[in-house]
Amino acid sequence: MAEAERIIGTPDTPEDGGERTATPGPAGPDQQPAPDGRRPGRGRRIAVLFAVAAFAYALDLVSKMIVVAKLEHHAPIEVIGDWLEFHAIRNPGAAFGFGGAFTIIFTLIAAAVIAVIFRLARKLYSFPWAVALGLLLGGALGNLTDRVFRSPGVFEGQVVDFIAPKGFAVFNLADSAIVCGGVLIVLLSFRGLDPDGTVHKD
């Protein structure tokens, strides 16, 4: 009878266990470590990370292929009057055209960012962090692909940029993904949410 009351009186725990706080509490069955010591939910978060990264990377790659084929060496296309144009350029520098003399250095930085993201994925239990890191990974891979495979040479390739707002630097979808991922990481940090799902409260 006591066992039946215990089972009936125990509320169901959501499948992911929700956000884990810095203050440990009683662990439900979905939060218990697996026999191999791993907590459930990480596999799904990693799947989200790579799905977002693949989508951002594919979108960037396809857009650059279209730009190179249809827009490069042609007059800019007005999208919103002269406020926004599609104007194909080759950028040897970092995002938004900065640091054109340091192409190899930016290539190494992009590779290092990708390595750090893969390292963080080992302790990833937060859905928002999975999205943020996926955006960073997809954007970094998009521009790194240009660095490796485009002219003038391996690790010195120039990135294809084409989105040209009035009075602003020309950029591409990979740059946009990197910026969105970075902004999301800053917001999550302000909220006190760590990649492992722990929430730090003041």
Which residues are catalytically annotated?
Answer: 161, 175
Determine how many CB atoms are found less than 10 A away from the CB of residue 62.
Answer: 11
| Alpha helices, DSSP H, located in the chain | 2-8, 42-70, 103-120, 127-149, 173-191
Describe the crossing of helices 173-191 and 127-149 by its angle, rounded to 10 degrees.
150
Nearest to 56 by CA among 159, 178, 202, 190: 178
Q: How far lies 42's CA from each of 16, 47, 57, in Å?
A: 9, 9, 22
User: How many beta carbons lie within 10 A of that of residue 72, not counting itself?
Assistant: 14
